[in-house]
């Protein structure tokens, strides 16, 4: 019971902290006159809640939770998250989304190669971080703008729906640089507290139910850290700005496969023998998304199929 409550509290802290960080860091950066390049490098990977949680799990010597969270978050996003959204309304999958799916597929293959022997050392972790930087640079060069991942996708979706003035105000541009930086640091502190609560809650669930760390990381912990992206797509459906939100969700899978997994391995080398099959599934899902959308739309039947894949995945993890 306490473990479940900690996970709920963790989800709230992670969501609130991530939004506070992204909104105010963006506004403070503009006030301080940071270049587009600097802001892009700071915020292109705006999916910090999973990274912080995975790093905390690795440092606390729970590699199954760290790897499970990074891999499970991707499976959750690319099946349950997109599937449920497509069931509500067919999702557009245009050029931007497809480029993000290709980037995600490449990142997933890097993660698969790193985890093939059941461990990820610090050198491999640094390689994954470098791979993330290269993939972001490639998409940036193609789009002439930094990729919008995670919470940044929400800011862009609001800009698309309400206009740039609204988005700029939401991003904290009306605040002083000092206040913006202070609130961004508060966001980091909230995410750190949320990550600690998420890991502690997951550990308590493992002990209470007699489960393995990897199983809990792949499912329960991954759900807690991806709540923000479910909310992102739900808000986008209401506003009619779904394509940028879908791009943000798919692109965030790139971040988890490389930056999240890599940062956790740099913090503490990871060893897990139970995550190879889920890693293969996570690597296959971006290709599946491309295959399911030859006409540029993810239809309802495909959304239902993705939800069924997630349900089957959960059953297999706990069987």
Per residue in 204-261, pLDDT tens? 888 888 888 888 889 988 888 888 778 777 777 776 667 777 877 888 888 889 989 9
Per residue in 124-139, pLDDT tens? 999 999 998 888 777 7
pLDDT band at 299 (very low <50, low <70, confident <90, very high): very high
pLDDT of residue 37: 42
Let me know: does 189 contact 5? Beta carbons within 8 Å.
no
pLDDT band at 284 (very low <50, low <70, confident <90, very high): very high
Per residue in 103-117, pLDDT tens? 889 999 999 999 888
pLDDT band at 9 (very low <50, low <70, confident <90, very high): confident
Long-range pairs of 156-164 with CB within 8 A, sequence gap ≥ 24: 156/244, 156/248, 157/232, 157/235, 157/236, 157/239, 157/241, 157/244, 157/245, 157/248, 158/239, 158/241, 160/241, 160/244, 161/239, 161/240, 161/241
The mean pLDDT value for 136-151 works out to: 66
How far apart CA 282 and CA 45 sit, in angstroms, is: 19
pLDDT of residue 146: 59
- pLDDT exceeds 90 at position 26: no
Let me know: does 225 contact 198? Beta carbons within 8 Å.
yes
Domain that includes residue 53, residue range: 2-318
- The whole-model pTM stands at 0.80
Of the ranges 26-35, 65-74, 163-172, 303-312, which one carries the lowest mean pLDDT score?
163-172
Instruction: Name the residue among 287, 279, 232, 289 with its Cα closest to residue 256.
Output: 279
Let me know: does 99 contact 251? Beta carbons within 8 Å.
no
Per residue in 47-66, pLDDT tens? 677 888 899 899 999 999 89
Question: Which CATH number characterizes residue 158's domain?
Answer: 1.20.1420.30
pLDDT band at 276 (very low <50, low <70, confident <90, very high): confident
How many structural domains is the chain composed of?
A: 1
Longest dimension (CA), the chain: 54
Of the ranges 143-152, 177-186, 238-247, 299-308, which one carries the lowest mean pLDDT score?
143-152
């Amino acid at each position: 019971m306490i473990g479940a409550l900690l996970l709920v509290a963790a989800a709230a802290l992670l969501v609130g902290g991530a939004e506070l960080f992204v909104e105010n860091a963006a506004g403070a950066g503009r006030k301080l006159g940071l270049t587009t390049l600097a802001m892009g490098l700071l915020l292109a990977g705006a999916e910090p809640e999973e990274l912080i949680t995975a790093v905390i799990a690795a440092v606390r010597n729970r590699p199954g939770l760290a790897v499970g969270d990074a891999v499970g978050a991707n499976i959750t996003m690319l099946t349950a998250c997109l599937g449920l959204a497509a069931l509500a309304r067919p999702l557009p999958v245009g050029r931007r989304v497809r480029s993000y799916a290709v980037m995600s597929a490449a990142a997933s293959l890097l993660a698969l190669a790193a985890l093939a022997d059941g461990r990820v050392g610090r050198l491999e972790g640094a390689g994954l971080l470098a791979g993330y930087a290269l993939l972001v640079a490639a998409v940036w060069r193609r789009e002439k703008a930094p990729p919008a991942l995670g919470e940044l996708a929400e800011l862009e979706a609001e800009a698309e729906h309400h206009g740039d003035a609204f988005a700029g105000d939401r991003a904290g541009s009306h605040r002083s640089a000092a206040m913006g930086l202070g609130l961004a640091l508060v966001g980091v502190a909230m995410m750190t507290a949320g990550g600690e609560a998420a890991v502690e809650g997951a550990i308590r669930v493992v002990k209470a139910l007699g489960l393995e760390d990897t199983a809990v990381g792949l499912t329960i912990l991954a759900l807690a850290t991806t709540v923000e992206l479910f909310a992102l797509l739900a808000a986008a459906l209401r506003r009619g700005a779904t394509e940028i939100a879908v791009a943000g969700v798919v692109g965030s899978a790139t971040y988890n496969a490389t930056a999240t997994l890599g940062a956790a391995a740099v913090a503490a080398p990871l060893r897990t023998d139970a995550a190879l099959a889920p890693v293969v599934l996570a690597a296959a899902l971006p290709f599946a998304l491309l295959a399911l959308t030859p006409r540029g739309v993810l239809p309802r039947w495909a959304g239902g199929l993705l939800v069924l894949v997630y349900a089957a995945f959960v059953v297999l993890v706990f069987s």
